[in-house]
Amino acid sequence: MYIASKDRYSAMEYNRCGRSGLMLPKVSLGLWHNFGDTANFENMKSLCFTAFDNGITHFDLANNYGPQPGSAEKNFGRIMKEDLRPYRDEMIISTKAGYLMWDGPYGDWGSRKYLLASLDQSLQRMGLDYVDIFYHHRMDPDTPLEETMGALATAVNSGKALYVGLSNYDGKTLKKATSILKDLNCPFVINQNRYSIFDRTVENNGLKEAVSKLHKGLITFSPLAQGQLTDRYLNGIPEDSRIRTDGRYLKESTLDEHRMEQIRQLNDLAKQRGEKLADMALAWLLQKEEVTSVLIGASKPQQILDNIKATDSAPFTKEELQLIDNISLG
């Protein structure tokens, strides 16, 4: 039977989500990959235990994480039932709905029908009475924003979620959504968006600025750009890499000579700082005042331990930050 480390809160630091009372660890564990039915269950347990033993209290899921869709929630639910249940009140568990989950007109996007039905299914798969954060996973151009935000408010009012969040929204839509949720007295506390040295979308679409002005949290996914900001591809593409086994999210064509030269130059800078490239990439995010937490993915427990080291990285000099911009945006 799993017994959590007594020292689990000694090293991790926690940030407040905007002006809310909710605190998140600087590093959170995402279950986007490696928790589906094609993964090894014992390894899933080791990943969760390693994370929690080192102060990672936040576990992030979505209804469609797999493969198959729903299987990550199901497997996490089994881990909760068998081992983590005694620690439920020490954990932040989040899930989302917004992408295609089931066939027909009610299993996608942002309708009230879809979001509330999906949340019920997620709770059933995980064996939970509530989630701590329920996100709308992406903007819906066709459903009225008032309907989608109303569904999130209902999730809270029904006791099935404590807080709500928005994922993959831009700054303009975030401002509108914030106003609606405020009128509904709904505890909207956090935004989840892709953000890394190589992906500055949140800086260009107004999201980062809006988060700051509205005093909301920001948690970033793909902080290592699907492995590009690590030493994994410095000497070519390994046969067991995700590019070879699952090319849906990172294409081999992305790693052209220009990108490889960028990676090599960033790696050289990380070495000068006495760090690995991944440490530097995570620290680059964590040292931004708008960023509450970074979501890491892992296939091995050691990767979690390695990523946590980024919380102790030295501050960047102005020259280092300018060099990172020159390399990555050039």
* 40 in Cβ contact with 183 (< 8 Å): no
Q: What average pLDDT does range 273-279 have in this prediction?
A: 97
H-assigned helices in 63-108: 71-79
Assign 251 a pLDDT band (cuts: 50, 70, 90). confident
Interval 109-131: pLDDT, tens:
999 999 999 999 999 999 999 99
Q: What is the DSSP letter of 316?
A: P
Report the alpha-carbon distance of residue 213 to residue 195 in Å, rounded.
18
- Amino acid occupying residue 237: I
- Amino acid occupying residue 73: E
Interval 294-330: pLDDT, tens:
999 999 999 999 999 999 999 999 999 999 999 999 8
State what percent of residues in the chain have pLDDT above 90.
Answer: 91
Phi, psi of 223 (to 5 degrees): -70, -20
Q: Left, alpha or beta for 275 (phi > 0: left; psi -120 to 50: alpha)? A: beta
Report the alpha-carbon distance of residue 126 to residue 88 in Å, rounded.
12
Please give the structure tokens belonging to residue 270: 């990380």
Report the alpha-carbon distance of residue 313 to residue 115 in Å, rounded.
39
Question: Strand 23-25 vs strand 188-194: parallel, antiparallel, or unpaired?
Answer: unpaired
Is cis: bond before 68, omega within 30 of 0? yes
* 21 in Cβ contact with 215 (< 8 Å): no
> What pLDDT score does 189 carry?
98
Which helix (DSSP H) or strand (DSSP E) does residue 94 occupy? strand 92-97
Of 151, 4, 149, 137, which is closest to residue 61 (Cα–Cα)?
137
Count of residues in the chain: 330
Residue 223 confidence (pLDDT) above 80? yes
H-assigned helices in the chain: 41-53, 71-79, 112-126, 145-157, 171-183, 201-204, 207-214, 242-245, 257-272, 277-286, 301-308, 318-329
Q: Which pTM value belongs to this model?
A: 0.95
Assign 239 a pLDDT band (cuts: 50, 70, 90). low
CA distances from 281 to 126, 129, 306, 323 (A): 32, 36, 12, 13
Interval 3-58: pLDDT, tens:
999 999 998 999 999 999 999 999 999 999 999 999 999 999 999 999 999 999 99
Assign 247 a pLDDT band (cuts: 50, 70, 90). low
Residue 269 confidence (pLDDT) above 90? yes
* 206 in Cβ contact with 172 (< 8 Å): yes
Assign 99 a pLDDT band (cuts: 50, 70, 90). very high
Ordered domains of the chain (ranges, CATH): 14-233+277-316 (3.20.20.100)
Q: Torsion over CA of 68, 73, 76 and 78, rounded to 10 degrees?
A: -90
Q: What average pLDDT does range 57-69 have in this prediction?
A: 98
* 168 in Cβ contact with 177 (< 8 Å): no
Residue 101 confidence (pLDDT) above 70? yes
